[in-house]
Structures are given as C-alpha cells and as structure tokens.
C-alpha cells in the first residue's frame, strides 16, 4: 500500500501532493495513489460485467422494435438479435486465443480493451454515417415513411454483429479473470464471486432496458441517443479501468492441444457433463417464434413501448432470480435448482 504520513511530516505530505491527489478513506486516514489504484483494480472486473449488462439492456429493446420501423421482415427481426448473440458461441475460441497468444505478456487486459474498443467503434460508425431518426409515425405502424439516409438491415446487422463480437470478447476476458480469482475463495464462500459478478450484469440489464425503452418511445432521434450511449459507455467506463486491471504474466503458456486435453479431462467428470447436458438440452428446446413481435404489433396493435415492457419484465425477473439463487439457493444441489426452475418456467 502507499505511504501514510502523520501531522509531524508536513514536508512529506506536500511532496506526496505533488505526485498524487490525497484521498480520504472511510476511517479518516490518507489514501494515496496506490490505494486508489488498488480500489480501481478491485472494481474493474465487476464493472466489466456491469457494462456487458448495460450493453445488452440498451441494445435489446432497440433491436426489438427499431427493425419494425425499417420495415424488416419477420426473419430479419429474428436474425438481428441473434447476430448480437452469435459471437457468444466463439467464447471457446476467444479463450484459447488469449491463453496461447499473450499481448506484451498479458493474457486478458489488452484483449479486453480491444473488445470494448471494437464495441464502441462499431456503434460510432453507425452513429456518424447514418440517419437514425424514427419515421414520423414513431415506428408504431411499421414506419409509413422511410427516413432518407437510414441504415439498411444489412448495415444494421453487420454493425451489431461487430458490436456483439466486441463485448462478448471482453466478457470472456472477465470470465477468465473471475475463474482465476475464484480459486482463491474459501471453501464456504465458493461461488460468491461469480454470482456477484453475474448479479452486476443482470442489474445492468434491468436498469438499462427501461431507460432504452423510454428514450426510444419519447424522442424522435431515440435510436441515435441509444447508439450514442452504446458507443460512449465502454469508452468512458471500461477503457480507463482496463489500465488498472491486474493480469499476472503466466509462468508457462499451454498449447492448444494441452488446453484441449485439460478441457476434455474436466468434461469427463460427471459433476461437469451431467448438469451441462441438462442446460444444453434446455437451451436447445427454446425455439423462437419469428413472427411473434409482428403478430403483437399488427393484430393486437402493440406499441414499441409495450413490446419493450415485456422485455424489461423478463430482465427484472432475471435479476431477482439471480439474487434468490445467491442468497438462498447457492448451496442447493443443481438438480433441485433445475427442477424448481423448470416448474416455474412451465407455470
């Protein structure tokens, strides 16, 4: 930690002020730059998860209704959110890449920074090169008029694919750091770190989704405001914190073959493959109805705000479910958690 100076050493205090700002901690002592650096290091990983949640919470309501204003077909409406999630399937590749190809001896922090830069610049390109205003009808009827200079569905798809590629890449780096630090948790607290980080993500989704809905529904240039937030939040929040991220240089670098061997050994454990098989089958059976949003809009005359309220409600329940698991079900068997979740999902 940094040096602390008493009242009898005023000269040292003045010298310290010349190189760093003196901060006061909760006990009334002096907190130097190194202590501040440690604090920023401690919040950088939760901030990464929070930012991922904010990105998802802001973008999903936009993609839920904005394609309707651009007269997207049902297939295009389903494809756009899928493209944002598609890079999530590359997580294994991202992990292998960072493990086998460190940048300046660091396996995580520079890749995390690259991911957030890619996220921001994909949105900045969309913001500065296209007209993101809503049609005069505010999109409630599919947009009777097309706005000149509006992005095509193809451009929107590519922009949000790169957007998703960036924040999922950064998310993998955050997951890797959490997995490394979770090994240091006491046995009785095992799992607390990961659930806390995921609670940060779902909190970000829960807060950002209604904000995105309100902005989209009440401002003619609502999509431009949301895209501006998607571009600015990573640059303002995460890029500075990446520099404070602690990423120890690995003693040895495993080859891809060695990593695959370790992964296979882990997967051969029944404690791993059995619950993961249930999760895989559960997700596999979640079939999306591509025409559902169009049906709600044309048959029941749902507005953009009402469509996004359904999405916001799901994010709120997701966050509540995470808190319930963290504080009440963390030590339950996975079978009990799975059965209760299936029953609630069926209801």
Q: Over the stretch 175-211, which tens digit does the pLDDT of each residue have?
A: 888 888 777 777 766 777 788 888 899 999 999 999 9
Q: Over the stretch 289-326, which tens digit does the pLDDT of each residue have?
A: 666 776 777 777 777 677 778 888 888 888 888 888 87
Neighbours of 218 (CB within 10 A): 10
Q: Given this model, what pLDDT does residue 129 score?
A: 93
Residue 37 lies in a domain: no
Same domain, 144 and 220: yes
Same domain, 19 and 115: no
Q: Which ranges of the chain does DSSP label H, i.e. alpha helix?
A: 10-19, 33-69, 74-85, 91-100, 109-129, 153-182, 192-218, 222-233, 239-242, 256-267, 270-284, 292-298, 304-324, 334-346
Residue 36 lies in a domain: no
Nearest to 312 by CA among 192, 175, 216: 216
Same domain, 7 and 139: no
How far apart (Å, rounded) are the C-alpha atoms in residues 211 and 205? 10
Contacts of 124 (CB under 8 A, 6+ apart): 231
pTM of the full predicted structure?
A: 0.75
Mean pLDDT of 107-131: 93
How far out from the chain centre does Cα 99 lie?
A: 21
- How far from 295 is each of 32, 134, 304, 314, CA to CA, in Å? 59, 21, 13, 19
How far apart (Å, rounded) are the C-alpha atoms in residues 45 and 97? 20
Instruction: Decide: helix, strand or coil at residue 31.
Output: strand
Same domain, 27 and 164: no
Q: Over the stretch 157-180, which tens digit does the pLDDT of each residue have?
A: 999 999 999 999 999 998 888 888
Q: Given this model, what pLDDT does residue 91 score?
A: 85
Crossing angle for the helix pair 91-100 and 256-267, to the nearest 10 degrees = 130
Structure tokens at 66: 């904005």
Same domain, 138 and 262: yes
Say if residues 170 and 115 touch (Cβ distance below 8 Å): yes
Half-sphere exposure of 312 (CA within 13 A, CB side): 17
Same domain, 170 and 70: yes
Same domain, 142 and 8: no
Same domain, 108 and 1: no
Kind plus residue range of the DSSP H or E element containing 24? strand 23-24
Same domain, 26 and 48: no
Mean pLDDT of 100-122: 89
Nearest to 214 by CA among 286, 279, 308: 308
Q: Over the stretch 30-53, which tens digit does the pLDDT of each residue have?
A: 557 777 777 777 788 899 999 999
- Give the domain range for residue 26: 1-31
């Amino acid at each position: 930690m940094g040096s602390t100076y008493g009242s009898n050493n005023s000269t040292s205090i003045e010298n310290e002020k010349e190189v760093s700002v003196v901060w006061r901690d909760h006990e009334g002592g002096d907190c130097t730059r190194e202590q501040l650096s440690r604090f920023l290091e401690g919040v950088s990983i939760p901030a990464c998860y929070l930012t991922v949640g904010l990105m998802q919470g802001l973008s999903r309501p936009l993609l839920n209704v904005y394609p309707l204003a651009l007269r997207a077909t049902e297939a295009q409406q389903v494809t756009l959110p899928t493209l944002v999630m598609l890079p999530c399937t590359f997580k294994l590749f991202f992990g292998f890449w960072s493990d086998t190809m460190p940048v300046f001896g660091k396996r995580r922090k520079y890749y995390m920074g690259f991911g957030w830069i890619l996220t921001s610049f994909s949105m900045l390109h969309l913001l500065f090169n296209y007209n993101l205003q809503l049609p005069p009808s505010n999109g409630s009827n599919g947009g009777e008029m097309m706005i000149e200079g509006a992005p095509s569905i193809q451009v929107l798809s590519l922009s949000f694919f790169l957007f998703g590629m960036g924040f999922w890449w950064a998310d993998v780096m955050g997951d890797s750091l959490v997995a490394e630090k979770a090994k240091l948790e006491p046995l009785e607290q095992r799992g607390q770190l990961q659930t806390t980080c995921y609670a940060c993500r779902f909190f970000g989704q829960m807060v950002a989704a209604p904000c995105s809905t309100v902005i989209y529904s009440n401002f003619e240039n609502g999509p431009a405001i949301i895209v501006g937030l998607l571009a600015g939040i990573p640059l303002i929040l995460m890029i500075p914190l990446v520099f404070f991220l602690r990423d120890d240089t690995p003693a040895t670098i495993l080859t891809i073959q060695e990593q695959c061997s370790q992964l296979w050994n882990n997967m051969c454990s029944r404690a791993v493959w059995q619950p993961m098989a249930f999760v895989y089958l559960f997700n596999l059976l979640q079939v999306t109805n591509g025409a559902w949003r169009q049906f709600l809009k044309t048959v029941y005359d749902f507005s953009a705000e009402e469509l996004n309220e359904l999405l916001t409600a799901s994010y709120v329940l997701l966050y509540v479910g995470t808190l319930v698991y963290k504080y009440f079900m963390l030590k339950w068997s996975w079978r009990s958690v799975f059965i209760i979740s299936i029953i609630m999902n069926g209801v």
